[in-house]
Each structure stands twice: as C-alpha cells, then as structure tokens.
Amino acid sequence: MCGIVGYIGAQDGQSVLLSGLKRLEYRGYDSSGIALILSRKKTIGVRKIPGKISALEKLIQAKPLSGNVGIAHTRWATHGAPNQANAHPHLDCRGQISVVHNGIIENYEILKNQLSKEGHLFRSQTDTEVIVHLIEKFYKNVPLEEAVAAALKLLVGSFAIGVISVLEPNKLVGARRGSPLIIGVGRGENFLASDVPAVLGFTKEVVFLDENELVVLDQEHFKISTLDGKTVFKAITHISWDIDQAQKGGFTHFMLKEINEQPRILESLINSRIQKKSGKIFFQEQNIQETVLKEIKNIFIVACGTAYHAGLVGKYVLESFCQLPTQIDVSSEFRYRDLLLSPETLVIAISQSGETADTLAGVREAKRHGCQVLAICNVLGSTLTRESDGVIYTHAGPEIGVASTKAYTAQLAALYLFTFYLAQIKGVLFSARINKLLSELCKIPQYQIQILKQQQKIATLARKHSHLGSFLYLGRNVNYPSALEGALKLKEISYIPAEGYAAGEMKHGPIALIDEYRAVVCIVPASKVYDKMVSNIQEIRSRKGKIIAVATAGDAEIRELTREVIYVPSTEEVFSPLLVALPLQLMAYHIAVKRGCDVDQPRNLAKSVTVE
C-alpha cells in the first residue's frame, strides 16, 4: 500500500516529511517523493525517485528544498511501472497544485481521456494524475477544498489524498474514501498521514478520518467536513502504542494484522473487477486477447507453496465452470518435466512476490512451448509480471509476514473471477448463474468479518491444542487444498509436523496415525461430500483422535461428534475455501504464539524464494 505524509507548521518541511516516510517503509514501496511550497519563490518544489527512501535522501541532499508546507509519498505501484515519472507527488499543468494518493481510481481512463481533450498534459501512466488535473479544472475562484471535493465526487474507486497549492500556501487538504487517512494534531503544526506511525515522532494526538470526509489544515487548526461541505466534529484520540505496535496497526504481529485485512482487501479486489451496471467482469491489466482465450483447449497451473494451494482450488473451479482440462504442478517439478504443452495451453502462474525462482523458470519453459502465460501476482513490476502475456494483480498490499494469508485469499478471489470471466467469454456458463455466483462472492467479505469476530474462541481452542506433537488436516474436493494450506500454515510458523490429506485417502495410510496424541482438523462445511467427511470423522472418533472441525453455521450434527467446532457462515460450496482459510490461519497463529515462535519471521524461511 502507498504511504502518505503531509505537514504544515514551522519546522523544516523536508526533514519532517522524510522522517514520516521512513516510519511508513514497513508498508512496502518501490518509489518515493516529496513536494514543498518553496518559501521564497511561491512555487512547488518536487523531488521524487524510484527505489528506497535512501535514494530520495541523496537526491534531496544534492538538491535541497526549503519550505514548511508539503506532502510526501511512498508508492506501491498499481498502475504504471515504478519509475520517476510515475512516482508521487504529481503536479497540475502549471505546477501550482500537487497531490499524493493511496488507492485505485477505477474510472481513471475515462477521466484522463476527457481531461486530455480539454488540454491537460499528462506526464505519467498513473491513475493518480487524473486527480490533480481534475482539481486544476475546478480550482477557479473557489477555495482549494471546494475544488478538491468537486474532483473527488467524480472518482470511482478508493483514495486517500494530500493536496497543496501555491495559490493558498498556508493550507493543507486531505480526504479519504476506501483508504485510511489520519490527522496528527501538534502544537503550532499539523500533519496528515496514511497511518499512525508516520506522526508518532511528533504527536500522539490523532484524528481518524472516516469515509468521504475531507479536512483543511493550517498551522493552528483543522476543519473536517463531508465532501458535500457539511461540517463534521470528531474527537482527538490519544495513541498509547509505541512505534513498533503502530506499524502493526495495534496488532501484535504483521501476520495477525494481515489476517484481519482480508475482508477489506477482498471487497476492494472483487468490486474493482465487476462493472456495477452490466455485471460484466473485467481486468484492467489482463492483456491476453479474448479471441485468444476463446481458443484455449486446456490449462496448466504452476506455483509454489501457498500459491500452489490456491492453484489447486483453481483447478477444481476452472474444470467445473469452464469445462477445461486443468493440470497443476509445483513449479520445481513443472520446470523439469517433459511437458506436453501447446500454444492452445494457457499457463497460469501464481505468485505473491513474482520473484520465485522455480515459478519464473516454469514460465520461461512454458513460453518456449509457445504457451500464453497469465500471471496472478501481488507485486506490480515484478519479474513474473514482466515475463507474462497477461497479469491479474491481487492488490493485497505488501504482505510482510512470511506466512502468506491475505495474498492467499486474494489469489483465490482472482481465480474465481478469472474463471467466471473465462466462462463468460467461452459462453459455457449462463449469465444468470454467473450473476448468482458473483452476488454470493460479493458477500464473502462480510462472512469473513463474522468469522473474525470469533478470534478469541479460536485462540482459546488453538492454545488448548498447542502442546500436541503433530496435526493432520483433512478435507475433500475444493477443501482438500484447504487442508494442505492449513497444514502448511501451522508447520511453517510453529514448526509442529503437520500434514494435509485428501480425507478419502484416510484408509490408504493416514488412519494408522490416529490416536489420542494427535489433533485431526476436519474441514467439513456443507457440501456434496459432507456425508463422506462425517464418515471419516466417525472413523477418527472411534480411534480416539482429537477432532477439531470447521463446519457450516447451524450444523448441529457435527457437534455430536466433537465439541471442538469452529463455525463459518453458509455460502456456495465453491467459495468455502475463502472462509475456512481464516480459522486455520488463526489457529496456526495462536499455536505458534503460544509456543513462543517468531511468527512474522519463522526460522529458515524467506518471504520470497528467489533461488532454486
């Protein structure tokens, strides 16, 4: 996610802004910049550069800026490569207004075309730049904040912005919809920021802006209103966190913060892909032509680890809804197989980082066979996205915890959406059925919020079993991958041996493991294989296995088989992996914490495996 800092006060603006940006580095970024109203010249000075903040510091040392009203930004690229032109802050045509932005403007292309026709000159590929030109368009004989509000009302999508103008040099304007923005309240100075850490070095008094609110700041005051100009009064919150806690949003670990981010990320990902009126699915950056996709005869999914588990769910879904034979393999095997691929094979490469060596090697092998490659990836500009023919970004924001959580469910959502998109193109699924599925998919974030409300219960259950020496995870059909993923989550952060298995395989070996010293996590939501799962659970129960069930709310039968039940809301069976993932992530997290493990940086593991 991008980071925003704004300052208005008596201190040296560039040092305050740089200090705030450094406190936001944990969010991940690929370029940064600052803009200051230059005290003497009544113009705006901008310094921005790709790479780390240290590169920006060097640039500023060489060409310093002097002023005490400004904005700054760390960019996590979503539209346009991470380069100098696309870095924020952005300027209007005459260099009199500057803007920084965190979020995604879904209708930026339409707005950009219109503004270009009206003579506005664009210098970047970003969606953000339309904001500063829209403000310029409306900024005629009205206060800056009115021009900002008029511009923001035309935007579809999410934003948190900071705005300055040489025409009103003692003013800093901020506004938000869908992305966080806070006010830091100082003495004789005020701040704007995406997140609390950026201002903690200067003040612990903050105000949290809510949706569609705008704020005007000067050195002594701040005034909050709705985008329609209605004044809003808000209390000041005293922050008691230290900087480390603040960067985790008050959560103990990044992993727990990221588990809790999933509903918001899914909502944004799903809503940005479905056209409200037509119900059609679209992907801005998916460049494989529909005519090519129509000719695809089979699919091969390649990925590692958690991404592989997401791909396994994708296999079930693609075969079921697109009627396309779909194979999958872990990248390290795929790259060395004698592959039977053809130009009619679509290879889908899934990777959070986009830098996993085995997956990149697999993609290059697929290209050598003349295949079209679609990447599902979280990092814009990563190697995988540059070597693929089409990309679907998951926009999950930087995932700091080594154990993948929010990226996993975002990958699943991307696979569901692509499946329905492909089914639409190939005409193999009636639009009524697609609309029903999309309508249920849009409810998933709310269902996830209901699950997250059970965190204390799940934590208690996890701690109660944290002493056990090994775990077995069982699931069937679309939740066989859920079992594999649940086992991976536990083993990689708690170091407890854990195996995921297709429940139907019990009699072919794993049943020998069952005894009272092992926990068996049974994923048993309402489904066409529910009765089969119940039979497996009864076999485990008769051998004194300790059963933990993840079941559908309202299922009383399962409680007769075990008291340890975590319920998830009822949904379309195909979407249940998006729900069962959360209790399994939370169980792994709380067991690892109970065992004193380094949850965010587990031993021996790297966030991205860039070597074989």
Using CA atoms, how far residue 133 sits from 89, 126, 130, 166, 480, in Å, is 13, 12, 5, 15, 50
Q: By CB under 6 A, which span of 32-40, 231-239, 256-264, 351-359 interacts with ligand AGP?
A: 351-359
Task: Fill in the amino acid letter for 60.
Answer: I
Under rule CB under 6 A, residue 189 binds ligand AGP: no
What is the nearest approach in angstroms of ligand AGP to the Cβ of residue 394?
10
What is the nearest approach in angstroms of ligand AGP to the Cβ of residue 59?
31
| Token pair listed for 172 | 């800093």
Residue 386 vs 436, nearer CB to ligand AGP: 386
Under rule CB under 6 A, residue 352 binds ligand AGP: yes
What is the nearest approach in angstroms of ligand AGP to the Cβ of residue 358?
8
Under rule CB under 6 A, residue 86 binds ligand AGP: no
Active site residue 597: no
Active site residue 607: yes
Binding mask 63-82 for ligand AGP (x = CB under 6 A): --------------------
CB atoms within 10 A of CB 152: 19
What is the nearest approach in angstroms of ligand AGP to the Cβ of residue 88?
26
Cα separation of 487 and 477, whole Å?
A: 16
Binding mask 589-608 for ligand AGP (x = CB under 6 A): -------------------x
Under rule CB under 6 A, residue 461 binds ligand AGP: no
Q: What is the DSSP string of 257-326?
A: HHHHHHHHHHHHHHHTTB-TTT--B--TT--S-HHHHHT--EEEEEE-HHHHHHHHHHHHHHHHHH---E
Task: Fill in the amino acid letter for 172.
Answer: L
Q: Is 294 exposed, middle or buried (0-12, 13-18, 19+ CB in 10 A)?
A: exposed
Residue 355 vs 555, nearer CB to ligand AGP: 355
Crossing angle of the two packed helices 305-322 and 406-426, in degrees rounded to 10 = 20
Under rule CB under 6 A, residue 332 binds ligand AGP: no
Residue 298 vs 608, nearer CB to ligand AGP: 608
Residue 225 vs 608, nearer CB to ligand AGP: 608
Q: Which residues, numbered 492-551, are part of the site for ligand AGP (CB under 6 A)?
A: 492
What is the nearest approach in angstroms of ligand AGP to the Cβ of residue 26?
18
Catalytic residue among 2, 304, 322, 371: 2
CB atoms within 10 A of CB 297: 11
Under rule CB under 6 A, residue 306 binds ligand AGP: yes
Handedness of CA 528, 531, 532, 536 (dihedral sign): positive
164's torsion region: left (phi>0), alpha (psi -120 to 50) or beta?
beta
Phi, psi of 232 (to 5 degrees): -125, 130
Closest residue to bound ligand AGP by CB = 305
Residue 306 vs 419, nearer CB to ligand AGP: 306
Residue 70 vs 305, nearer CB to ligand AGP: 305
Length of the chain: 612
Tokens 């395989």, residue located: 505
In sequence order, the 6+-apart residues with CB closer than 8 A to the CB of 157 are: 103, 104, 105, 106, 107, 108, 127, 178, 272
Residue 151 vs 488, nearer CB to ligand AGP: 488
Please identify which residue in 74, 356, 409, 424 interacts with ligand AGP, judged by CB under 6 A. Answer: 356
What is the nearest approach in angstroms of ligand AGP to the Cβ of residue 608?
5
Closest to 479 measured CA to CA, from 607, 594, 580: 580
Task: Fill in the amino acid letter for 139.
Answer: Y
Total residues contacting ligand AGP (rule CB under 6 A)? 15
What is the nearest approach in angstroms of ligand AGP to the Cβ of residue 415?
13
Residue 183 vs 312, nearer CB to ligand AGP: 312
Closest to 562 measured CA to CA, from 591, 542, 584, 590: 542
What is the nearest approach in angstroms of ligand AGP to the Cβ of residue 385?
12
What is the nearest approach in angstroms of ligand AGP to the Cβ of residue 355?
7
Q: Which residues of 335-361 are buried (b: 16+ CB within 10 A; e: fewer)?
A: beeebebeeebbbbbbbbbbbbbbbbb
Under rule CB under 6 A, residue 409 binds ligand AGP: no
Please identify which residue in 126, 268, 351, 372 interacts with ligand AGP, judged by CB under 6 A. Answer: 351
Cα separation of 439 and 427, whole Å?
A: 19
Under rule CB under 6 A, residue 314 binds ligand AGP: no
| Token pair listed for 164 | 């300055």
What is the nearest approach in angstroms of ligand AGP to the Cβ of residue 404?
4
The helix or strand, by DSSP H or E, that contains position 440, with its residue range, turns out to be: helix 431-441
Q: By CB under 6 A, which span of 137-145, 180-188, 191-199, 299-307 interacts with ligand AGP?
A: 299-307
Residue 353 vs 576, nearer CB to ligand AGP: 353
Phi, psi of 283 (to 5 degrees): -125, 115
The helix or strand, by DSSP H or E, that contains position 45, with its residue range, turns out to be: strand 44-50
Residue 216 vs 375, nearer CB to ligand AGP: 375
Please identify which residue in 150, 288, 468, 609 interacts with ligand AGP, judged by CB under 6 A. Answer: 609
- Radius of gyration of the chain from its Cα atoms, rounded to whole angstroms: 25
What is the nearest approach in angstroms of ligand AGP to the Cβ of residue 367?
18
Cα separation of 573 and 527, whole Å?
A: 6
Contact 378, 372 (CB under 8 A): no
Binding mask 474-493 for ligand AGP (x = CB under 6 A): ------------------x-
Under rule CB under 6 A, residue 403 binds ligand AGP: yes
Residue 213 vs 492, nearer CB to ligand AGP: 492
Catalytic residue among 204, 532, 594, 607: 607
Q: By CB under 6 A, which span of 136-144, 301-309, 472-480, 583-591 interacts with ligand AGP?
A: 301-309
Cα separation of 183 and 196, whole Å?
A: 9
The residues that are catalytic are 2, 607
Contacting residues toward ligand AGP, per CB under 6 A: 304-307, 351-353, 356, 359, 402-404, 492, 608-609
